[in-house]
Chains A and B, each alone.
Chain A
């Protein structure tokens, strides 16, 4: 793949394929991919954090916590084609929620841009595995926020808000950022869900790659290889940020 990205049809060396990546429509596909990944990483990260915090904080019964962690373990591994169908059934043209809103509020989701087959739909579906992944990754870090720190802060007269601002958030920051980067990579690499949801029509990079193999346009496999190479670079970049962050967040866990 690495080699193929730099070859032309006659197997000679070239940068032409890589240069093509910066042209339309390929650069747009990367933009769409990155946008979807950013949005779902951010929303998934924030939402996942709050759900995880709600699950592990004092006062929440143990069984809720156990249930959520088990469910997250399953849901984080759930995706692809069945997930796509579940969302078609929910917010598709005849989906449960679409029909509910139309019948009870006279509000047409489709007219307001909430359609399944565009970016919003794909993002909504991706969140279904982004939330659980965030919960699984961040829950141990929240557990690591020692109760003594909180007690110490409150004893010194800090308000709840001050505790979070000066202790909680700074300690959790590396874990939060690291987890969100993980989510970004997770969404960026996803293919089956978006393919199945939009029948391959949404222009994200994996769909372009697959079009060269499953469609009838296999005239330049080297371009597909170059596209894959571009994905590899983006993901290698995210890992390069993720690994040092993870080291940093491990600092408090000893």
Chain B
């Protein structure tokens, strides 16, 4: 068979259609973000200034970022030892956990939040009324499948048994083994899972909205509704945040098979 040396014409057409569809909304957003809020004329950076000088912007961004960090730390503390233990001692349980990790695809955030609000209803105010309590707990659940698939891929690529035995014959305790031997070996997987979690929490709208917490995406929505032109600037900036998080994920993920977690976002 002849191998094509040049790109097929129909491929050009499809790539062009796809390219236009994906770039036009971004260009439109850029164009709006450069218009002056007073006159509606191009081109000024005023809107970006408005966003950067907005106290709520920094405040909600900080809340979302701290929430993301908290979620990442709790998720790592919870899932790394668990998955390590499952791989080492009870590998039969792995398919069960893998099945559990699929549940968030059947129970999307909009359904999950209904259940969570009901389950946690009786809990004390310092938990139920605080983003650090209720939201973080919800986000750890959201993060579970993504953490699991990344970490699982990481643990599968190393020889857990040999590493553990070697470390123990040298007299290391469990905590030392986990911290000094296992963790450095699954660092790439843990980082990939963490970045994914970070991106998800920074963009999560559904649960925050229904549980009435003021996180970064809620702020964006508020600006969208009230301030046309700055909203364009804000949208592009949040694009940039997604890009940075996802690109760092791809960079880390490429090193050691990123796993399927990378493809299913929770932002919609």
Contacts and interface: CB of A to CB of B under 8 A. Distances in A.
Given A85-B232, A236-B106, A1 B111 contact: yes
A51 B107 contact: no
Interface stretch (A66-74, A101-109, A169-177): A66-74
A90 B24 contact: yes
Nearest to B249: A73
Given A51-B18, A192-B217, A136 B263 contact: yes
B71 interface: no
A221 B118 contact: yes
A131 to B, nearest CB: 7
Contact of B247 (A68, A74, A76, A86): A74
Interface string B200-234: 00010110011110000100110011000001101
B141 interface: no
Q: Specify which of B11, B28, B238, B247 lies most central, judged by the most chain A CB atoms within 10 Å of its CB.
A: B28
A77 B4 contact: no
A85 B205 contact: no
Interface in B4-50: 4-8, 10-15, 17-18, 21-22, 24-29, 31-32
A209 B118 CA distance: 14
Contacts of B1: 147, 150-151, 154-155
A102 B26 CA distance: 20
B227 to A, nearest CB: 11
A210 B209 contact: yes
B242 interface: yes
Nearest to A243: B102
B210 A190 contact: no
A51 B22 CA distance: 12
Nearest to A213: B210
Interface residues of B, number: 69
B209 A206 contact: no
A84 B247 CA distance: 22
Interface string A216-240: 0000010011001001100110010
Interface of A is mostly: helix
A189 B108 contact: yes
B31 A89 contact: yes
A77 B199 contact: yes
A78 interface: yes
Given A74-B246, A96-B31, A213-B117, A190 B106 contact: no
Interface in B158-199: 199
Contacts of B8: 54, 57-60
A131 B107 contact: no
Nearest to A185: B105
B110 interface: yes
B268 A79 contact: yes
B62 interface: no
A206 B206 CA distance: 9
Contacts of A196: 205, 221, 224
Interface of B: 1, 3-8, 10-15, 17-18, 21-22, 24-29, 31-32, 102, 105-111, 113-115, 117-118, 199, 203, 205-206, 209-212, 217, 220-221, 224-225, 231-232, 234-235, 238-239, 242-243, 246-247, 249-250, 262-265, 267-268
